């Protein structure tokens, strides 16, 4: 098969190699997917660059998410899956070296989900890390129906899915953004109120929007950078689920404020999030996708040979959705 790989950490153009590798064969409990699209997420570039940790395998095929057709199944997997259009996550995570920047991947059948009709492979490749993380953060402290949810970065890849899923789940949604374009996107995804976090006082605006009550739950893109503002937005006994913290990687947390206010602060990392929550996310995402209106933003499309350019675009920042490579 054609594949892209790296054998050392470094800049995309320096370490990503395009070449031929043997076609993988599905093992016990596995499916083989003929990949049509591979999603590039920020963490795929961190792992390649060595920002998260040094390379842990002799060779790594990057990119964790993807979509394609099941063309073979291993022992213990129903043959009914053969020919199904699927999306997948955790392709290059949890100890797995070979991700989705290739023509084929083999992985546990548990990690693939049937892609509903009308959702393209490129769109399917945006669901893994962004949509699964959004779901896991949104429901980290329980159901949100009838509750008010704050989504910071509500036009980002994860944040926009959090806005859409929260609305679908019956929550009132307040999103923060940094431009009018992003405000439009958040509103189109279902946000009931939008705050420009660079020009407005987020806590003051949230309190005004909620008549002084605060939000029940927050899905947080910058735990450290937004800590003071988000704590001031969440009501007593409320919760914050954070999936990133670029603004301050090791913030000082006012722990007694959390204790006295009965606040729950949860970190969410999709790759190792509890299995039951990830299964629930797969099921709910299917229900959401088939429920009608949804936006699955593909930020840009590249060929497999252009995987280095796809990584560079993600590293530049400012992508609007998920960057996709099409093997």
Query: Which residues are near ligand NAP by CB under 6 A?
Result: 41-43, 129-130, 133, 152-153, 155-159, 176, 178, 182, 197, 221-222, 225-226, 243-244, 246-247, 268-270, 319
- State which residue, 31 or 191, has the beta carbon closest to ligand NAP: 191
- DSSP for 233-251? HEEEEEEEEES-BTT-SSP
Minimum distance from CB of 71 to ligand NAP (Å)? 28
Minimum distance from CB of 130 to ligand NAP (Å)? 6
Minimum distance from CB of 272 to ligand NAP (Å)? 9
Minimum distance from CB of 34 to ligand NAP (Å)? 26
- State which residue, 78 or 316, has the beta carbon closest to ligand NAP: 316
DSSP state of 178: S
Minimum distance from CB of 156 to ligand NAP (Å)? 2
Residue whose C-beta lies closest to ligand NAP = 156
Q: At what angle do helices 307-316 and 42-49 cross, to 10 degrees?
A: 110
CA nearest 281: which of 175, 121, 162? 162
- State which residue, 101 or 244, has the beta carbon closest to ligand NAP: 244
- State which residue, 251 or 254, has the beta carbon closest to ligand NAP: 251
- State which residue, 168 or 197, has the beta carbon closest to ligand NAP: 197
- DSSP for 7-61? SS-S-HHHH-EEEE-PPP---TTEEEEEEEEEEE-HHHHHHHHTSSS---SSSBB
Minimum distance from CB of 185 to ligand NAP (Å)? 9
- State which residue, 4 or 129, has the beta carbon closest to ligand NAP: 129
Minimum distance from CB of 114 to ligand NAP (Å)? 23
d(CA 121, CA 33) in angstroms, rounded, equals: 12
For tokens 């064969």, the residue is 25
CA nearest 35: which of 97, 108, 80, 85? 85
- State which residue, 129 or 240, has the beta carbon closest to ligand NAP: 129
Q: Which tokens hold the place of 81? A: 């899956």
- DSSP for 282-326? HHHHHHHHTTS-----EEEEEEGGGHHHHHHHHHH---SSEEEEE
- What is the 3-state secondary structure of 125-167? CCHHHHHHHHHHHHCCCCCCCCCEEEECCCCCHHHHHHHHHHH
């Amino acid at each position: 098969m054609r594949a892209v790989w790296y054998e050392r950490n470094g800049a995309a153009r320096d370490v990503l190699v395009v070449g031929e590798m043997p076609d993988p064969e599905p093992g016990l409990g596995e499916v083989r997917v003929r990949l049509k699209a591979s999603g590039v997420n920020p963490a795929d570039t961190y792992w390649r660059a060595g920002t998260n940790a040094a390379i842990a395998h002799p060779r790594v095929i990057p990119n964790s998410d993807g979509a394609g057709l099941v063309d073979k199944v291993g022992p213990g997997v129903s043959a009914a899956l053969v020919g199904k259009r699927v999306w997948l996550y955790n392709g290059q995570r949890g100890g797995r070296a070979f991700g989705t920047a290739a023509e084929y991947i083999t992985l546990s059948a548990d990690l693939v989900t049937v892609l509903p009709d009308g959702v393209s492979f490129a769109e399917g490749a945006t669901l893994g890390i962004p949509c699964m993380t959004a779901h896991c953060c949104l429901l980290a402290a329980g159901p949100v129906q009838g509750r008010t949810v704050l989504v910071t970065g509500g036009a980002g890849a994860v944040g926009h899915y959090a806005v859409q899923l929260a609305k679908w789940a019956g929550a009132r949604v307040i999103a923060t953004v940094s431009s009018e374009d992003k405000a439009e996107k958040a509103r189109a995804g279902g946000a009931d109120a939008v705050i420009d976090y660079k020009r407005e006082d987020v806590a003051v605006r949230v309190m005004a929007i909620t008549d002084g009550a605060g939000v029940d739950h927050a899905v947080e893109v910058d735990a450290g950078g937004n800590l003071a503002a988000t704590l001031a937005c969440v009501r007593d006994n409320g919760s914050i689920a954070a999936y990133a913290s670029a603004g301050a990687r090791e913030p000082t947390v006012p722990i007694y404020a959390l204790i006295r206010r009965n606040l729950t602060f949860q970190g969410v990392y999709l790759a190792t999030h509890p299995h039951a929550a990830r299964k629930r996310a797969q099921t709910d995402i299917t229900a959401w996708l088939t429920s009608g209106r949804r936006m699955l933003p593909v930020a840009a499309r590249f060929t497999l040979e252009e995987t280095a350019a796809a990584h560079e675009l993600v590293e530049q920042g400012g992508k609007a959705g998920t960057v996709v490579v099409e093997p």
